[in-house]
Amino acid sequence: MTPDLPLYFITAALYLLLGVRVWAALHAENTRAAKEVGRDGLVRALILGAWGIHGWVLHNALLGDVPLDLSLGHSLSLIAWVTVAMYWIVSFRYRLGVLQPIILLLAALMVLSPLLLPTDKQVTYSGMLAFKVHLVVSLMAYGLFAIAALHAMLMGIMERRLHDHDKRLFWLGEMPSLVAMDSLLFQMILMGFLLLTATLASGVFFSEALFGKPLPFNHKVIFSFISWLIYGGLLAGRQVWGVRGRRAARWTMAGFVMLLVAYVGSKFVLEVILHRG
């Protein structure tokens, strides 16, 4: 039994309760309550507190013993931790409506993933500076693209609400205009693309430093590069053809799916299905 087991459940419970609280406020008949929930200082502080506990749990699980353990469960928890941090920063500038409880509820599930999935995939080269840089940059890219993907899904739903006048979609809460959401989406894609570029570049240097040869051309690299091409093409399409709206949202989702297949998908097959490290 891990010493931090109670903290896993405390963190998940905090994320869950905060997510439910925000969701309930978005459904409130009092429209002022729905407008103010995203700006509630207490909610922000509690999210930051849950995030801090989550970080402490990850620190103890990953860095308590050497070498680093980057199994699927811990990797999912790490990505969730970075995603919450990215959302928390973005939310100061933009009112994101239902995106807030979605991220919190997903984080509540991901916190518990190390308890549900196989662990003990130790990385013997975790002390190398090149690997640390590569890991931090890649996690930032994953977190940002995760929010962009959820954002793109909401854009598609909002377009449906606008075109079909579907009042059943009131649960989205107050959101920015589609124009503002489209602009924010491409800001996130641009930043994520730069981080993904740095991830691939640092991976090359990391491979050279560790193995004395360039980055191996395996499934992880192939799908990551496909994702890079998708996002790069989307940014180019924005400038040349003015790509936006549903088309941009679909390609954003496609790029994120490629990233999931590249890392999380391959880990799931190896560790859960094939039971290989």
Q: How confident is the model at residue 273 (pLDDT cuts 50, 70, 90)?
A: very low
Residues 152-175 pLDDT 10s: 888 887 777 666 655 555 555 556
At 193, the pLDDT band (50, 70, 90 cuts) reads very high
Cα angle: 218, vertex 221, 222; to 5 degrees = 80
The answer to whether 266 touches 220, Cβ cutoff 8 Å, is: yes
pLDDT, mean over the chain:
78
- Residue 8 host element (H or E): helix 5-26
Q: Which two tokens stand for residue 198?
A: 């740095």
* Mean pLDDT value of segment 111-133: 70
Burial of 227 (0-12, 13-18, 19+ CB in 10 A): buried
Beta bridge partners of 122: 69
How far apart (Å, rounded) are the C-alpha atoms in residues 3 and 259?
33
Gyration radius of the chain over CA positions: 19
Q: What is the mean pLDDT of residues 221-241?
A: 91
pLDDT digits (tens, 9 = 90+) for 55-86: 998 888 776 555 566 677 777 888 889 889 88
Burial of 45 (0-12, 13-18, 19+ CB in 10 A): exposed
pLDDT category of residue 274 using cuts at 50, 70 and 90:
very low
Quickly state the pLDDT bin for 246 (edges 50, 70, 90).
Answer: confident
Q: What residue type is assigned to position 272 of the chain?
A: V
8 Å CB contact between 263 and 221: no
What pLDDT band is residue 1 in, cutting at 50, 70 and 90? very low
Q: Are strands 122-123 and 68-69 parallel, antiparallel or unpaired?
A: antiparallel
Question: How confident is the model over 9-35, as a mean pLDDT?
Answer: 77
